[in-house]
Amino acid sequence: MRSVVHDYLTEVLGGLAADGSGELAGYIPELAEADPDRLGAVFATVDGEVYGAGDADVEFTIQSISKPFAYALALSDRGFDSVLAKVGVEPSGEAFNEISLEHETGRPRNPMINAGAITTHSLVGPEHLLPAERVDRVVRGLSAFAGRRLEVDETVCISEMENAHRNLASAHMLRSHNILTADPRSVVEGYIRQCSVLVTARDLAVMAATLANQGVNPVTGERVVDARVVRQVLSVMSTCGMYDAAGDWATQVGIPAKSGVAGGLIGSLPGQLGIATFSPRLDGHGNSVRGVSLFERFSSDMGLHVMEVPPAALAVVRSSHVLGEGTSAVRVLQAQGGIRFAGAERIVREFVGDDIGESAVVVDFSLVSSIDDVARRMLLELARRLMLEGRGVYFVDPEMVIPDPDRGDGIRVPVIADAGQAPRGVGA
């Protein structure tokens, strides 16, 4: 049987095939030679399933889609403070090639506009690297996100370098403010090589899925960057990824995204999937026309807007019942799903107020898929308080969602195989 996901993608692409609006990126002569009719889309799930349709395996240059990934590498290699000292995180509301620098500091406003991305390139790898070594570190890093060794398209690279007046002007401005400390020309060359890395929509979807999967490539299993870096990158993508169309995008599509002038577009939906589309004709913002339409469809058809989330808290308590009677009664609370702050609060609330009558409490985590740090601490504190009241507290936790149920004072909450095994009776 073919997957419904694959057929859905094919059908949506078919519906957009006739849309010939928009223009190829003319300012890079080699990109103006591209086949404008190419159209592809790929979904990559956070557990490594990849669905492609249309021109999913056609190579094109990554262009600005390299920016969030280079930013991730710079944050990993240099740390947050050094990167933030040189590149801000405020949306500029301007076009991608606007030379928008902060008045006093000369810092580019964010890493998604060219001035910020040129600076970010210079921050990848250790400080002393030679320009070619820095490019190598960037290409290797992008390759780790994609899960295969990527190459540079030399023709596109030369074509862009020959016409890089605006990026060179930005780099000289940045040098004059000491934001760039290296030779501006060699940094722009490195940045343009970064933009000239060849990818397919399939590669881009896996790269986006690596961000959706907290920095672990779901196909190769490699941890590329840590989760803290991913949070920073996705935040900046959601506010600045679509340049001066960022507000429209955030409200209508609601998926952290990044576009490139060769026609690529990625979206990364945390915890769910990476999406990539390829269609070279661009709108006035420099975003792919059919790429934007595809994302609008995907978001509304599949409810992918990041602000639309199910009410996890209500469903966390699957049941709360009493086993046995009188002094040997045991309160059993069965939790389910993923538990975060709101879910833990819901569980804690079951025990607040009037004292419960039972002398023992079992919290059953068998149907719980994950518990985050704050929820784990709240539930262990709940256990500590119930134990202080003289009650027996037991966890049922076959999947070890709380691997070390230490209440924080060296005392562990006992783990039992099922609720029926809880010792009964006062002071149990």
- The residue ranges that bind ligand GLN (CB under 6 A) are 63-64, 96-97, 114, 160, 167, 195, 260-261, 286
Catalytic member of 42, 67, 216, 230 = 67
Instruction: Compute the Cα dihedral for 310, 316, 318, 320 and give only its sign.
Output: negative
Cβ of residue 45: shortest distance to ligand GLN, in angstroms?
A: 26
139/380 with CB nearer ligand GLN: 139
Enter the tokens of residue 286: 């420099």
Which residues is 403 bridged to in the sheet? none
Largest CA distance in the chain: 85
State which residue, 68 or 125, has the beta carbon closest to ligand GLN: 68
Among candidate residues 202, 239, 243, 223, the one with its CA nearest the CA of residue 40: 202
CB closer to ligand GLN, 117 vs 224: 117
Q: Which residue, chain included where needed, has tokens 């103006």? A: 32
**Residue 125: CB minimum distance to ligand GLN, A:** 20
Beta carbon nearer to ligand GLN, 160 or 358: 160
> Catalytic: 261?
yes
Q: Supply φ then ψ for residue 137, to 5 degrees.
A: -60, -40
Least separation in angstroms between CB 92 and ligand GLN? 13
The least CB distance from residue 165 to ligand GLN, in Å, is 11
* 371 membership: H or E segment, kind and range: strand 360-371
Residue 166 or 305 with smaller CB distance to ligand GLN: 166
Instruction: Point out the residue whose Cβ comes nearest to ligand GLN.
Output: 64
What are the C-alpha distances in Å from 327 to residues 319, 323, 419?
A: 21, 11, 16
- The CB-of-294 to ligand GLN minimum distance in angstroms stands at 18
d(CA 393, CA 420): 13
User: First vs last Cα of the chain: how many Å apart?
Assistant: 54
Minimum CB separation of residue 248 from ligand GLN in Å reads: 17
Tokens coding 181? 């400390």
| Strand 257-259 versus strand 264-269 pairing type | antiparallel
**CB 99, CB 115: distance < 8 Å:** yes
| Catalytic residue status for 58 | no
Collapsing DSSP to helix, strand or coil, 164 comes out as coil
Q: Which of 50, 64, 188, 197 is catalytic?
A: 64
- CB nearer ligand GLN, residue 114 or residue 359: 114
Is residue 243 part of the annotated active site? The answer reads yes
Q: What angle do CA 89, 146, 234 make, to 5 degrees?
A: 20
Q: Which residues are catalytic?
A: 64, 67, 191, 243, 261
